[in-house]
Amino acid sequence: MIRFENVTKVYARGARPALDRVSLDVERGEFVFLVGASGSGKSTFLRLVLREERASAGRVFVAGKELGNLSSWKVPHLRRQIGAVFQDFRLLPNKTVFENVAFALQVIGKPRHHILTTVPETLEMVGLAGKEKRRPHELSGGEQQRVAIARAFVNRPSILLCDEPTGNLDPTTSLGIMRLLDRINRTGTTVVMATHDDEIVDQMRKRVIELSTGEMVRDQSRGVYGSDR
């Protein structure tokens, strides 16, 4: 589903590469944790998958397409197959929960009847049934993240990218979010989650890829957060 072949990303000429000759393969339906200190290249990895950045060297394949050759007008189609969730939720404050989720479908031109059936379905799945008319500021952090996940998943992407989705949440709430991501993963969606949260990684026992200053230092199935354990 995602394949990196010797990918290097250099932001500024002469600077240390943000990613240094990284090669890896993520299969369809996998759940992968991306761990490492701040600045280790986790976000760059996600940005490369979203094609917000292009690799400086090497090749990136996502959903069967080589992103280096992808012309920019095809990028939106690539992104429709990828959902993205962030630490800061990125909800629209002046829209209700329903509108926030529907927005993702409206802007890619889905018909109204499709939106009216899919959005409530997805909101129920993330556990927000009955809160459709609330605004983001009326919700708890965990609920806001659920809205963000619903928005990322409402178009049924084959890949879900999460950039520290539990970074702003307390442990209990984080656990709920992880259960939700696990459920989404069970529907066949590939999930890649960048995180600092060792408890969660240790609990879930999924594949762990560790980056350190741009290099991949560990790729362990059913791994834990710290490599020394």
Partner 1 sequence: MRLQFILSEIGQGLRRNLSMTISVILVTFVSLTFVGSAALLQLQIGKMKDDWYDKVEVSVFLCPQNSSKPTCAAGEVTDEQKADIQAALDAPEIKPWVEKVYFETKEQAFEAFQKQFKDQFWASAATADDMNSSYRIKLTDPEKYQVVADVVSGRQGVEEVQDQRKLFDNLFLVLDRATLLAGGLAIVMLVAAVLLITTTIRLSALSRRRETGIMRLVGASTMFIQLPFMLEGAIAATVGALLAVGGLWVGVEYLVTDWLGASVTWIPYVSTADVLTVAPALIAVAILLSAISSLVTLSRYTKV
Chain residues binding partner 1 by CB under 8 A are 50, 72-73, 75-84, 90, 92, 103-104, 106-112, 115, 151-152, 155
Which of 76, 171 has the CB closer to partner 1?
A: 76
Residue 144 Cβ, how far from partner 1 at the closest point, in Å? 14
Residue 95 Cβ, how far from partner 1 at the closest point, in Å? 9
Q: Which helix (H) or strand (E) holds 31?
A: strand 31-35
Residue 137 Cβ, how far from partner 1 at the closest point, in Å? 14
Residue 116 Cβ, how far from partner 1 at the closest point, in Å? 10
Which of 14, 111 has the CB closer to partner 1?
A: 111
Beta sheet of 215-220, edge-to-edge order: 82-86, 159-163, 190-194, 31-35, 207-212, 215-220
| Token code pair at residue 194 | 């960048």
Alpha carbon distance 199, 48 (integer Å): 27
Alpha carbon of residue 121 to chain centroid: 21
| Token code pair at residue 139 | 């919700």
Which of 60, 201 has the CB closer to partner 1?
A: 60
Alpha carbon distance 155, 76 (integer Å): 13
Which of 98, 225 has the CB closer to partner 1?
A: 98
